[in-house]
Amino acid sequence: MKKALFFLFGFILAFLLQATESPASLTLTTADRTLYTYASAQAWGGTFVSDPQNSSTNLTGNFNQAIVSSAYSVGSTIYYFADATAQASQNTNLVVGANSLAISGNMTTSATSGVYPPVQSSASASAISYVHLVFNITSPATYQFTFTGTSNVFVAMQNQDSSEYIISGLSSPLSGTIGSGNYEFYIRNAASSNADFSLTVSSVPIPATVWLLGSGLLGLAGLRRKFRK
């Protein structure tokens, strides 16, 4: 009994010391977003124009982008015109602490096209927004993650060390726990849509019962030594 209590006490003490000396740490290594817009227009017998564009920026604040493409041709004495406009915008907020990460925002994309006259001309447009994060948890710890998003987003979170997908689509579990390692978070909205999203990752504190158990064992050890004297 004495040996069992001694080993149990040593195990709890080592756990408490490790938790004290090696605090959980979360580091953000990559945080960017890309707005992709594509517009094309074609007029019968004339010019075809496609105008894709990518723009990347950091994750703070608002960002907007628009592309307009047009084409025209001449048939007899009639001009045929086609126009396409793609618009994408994001409003994103990112907060990173020593043991937590929180990102939320809105993605809005729209696309319009028109032809003049509406015969023998065509136009198309699309726009998509992306958000991308890479973060690292450096010490043995447990982190809680929670994701919420509207139905028109695609979301994925992957453990880069094991290639395991923690989240893959809105049908996945959108809350749970993860441990130490490197993680990649990716989200995009469907073309021509308005989407909201939120992701939080935070360390799980050591349960109070563990600290109570450790202090109780210390107290028992002290009483045992007192009675032996």
List the domain range (segments joined by +) for residue 28.
2-228
DSSP state of 161: T
Q: C-alpha angle with apex 132: 62 to 135, nearest 5 degrees?
A: 120
SS3 content of the chain, % helix, strand, coil (to 5): 20, 60, 25
d(CA 224, CA 215): 14
Per-residue pLDDT of the chain (229 residues; tens, 9 = 90+): 555 444 444 445 444 444 444 466 999 999 998 888 888 888 776 777 788 888 888 877 788 888 888 887 776 666 778 888 888 888 989 999 889 999 999 999 998 888 777 666 788 888 888 999 999 998 878 999 999 999 989 999 999 999 999 999 998 889 999 999 999 999 999 888 899 999 999 998 765 444 444 454 445 455 455 445 5
- The DSSP annotation for 3-65 comes to HHHHHHHHHHHHHHHHHHHS---EEEEEEEEEEEEEEEEEETTS-EEE--EEEEE-SSEEEEE
Prediction pTM value: 0.73
> How many domains, in total, are found in the chain?
1
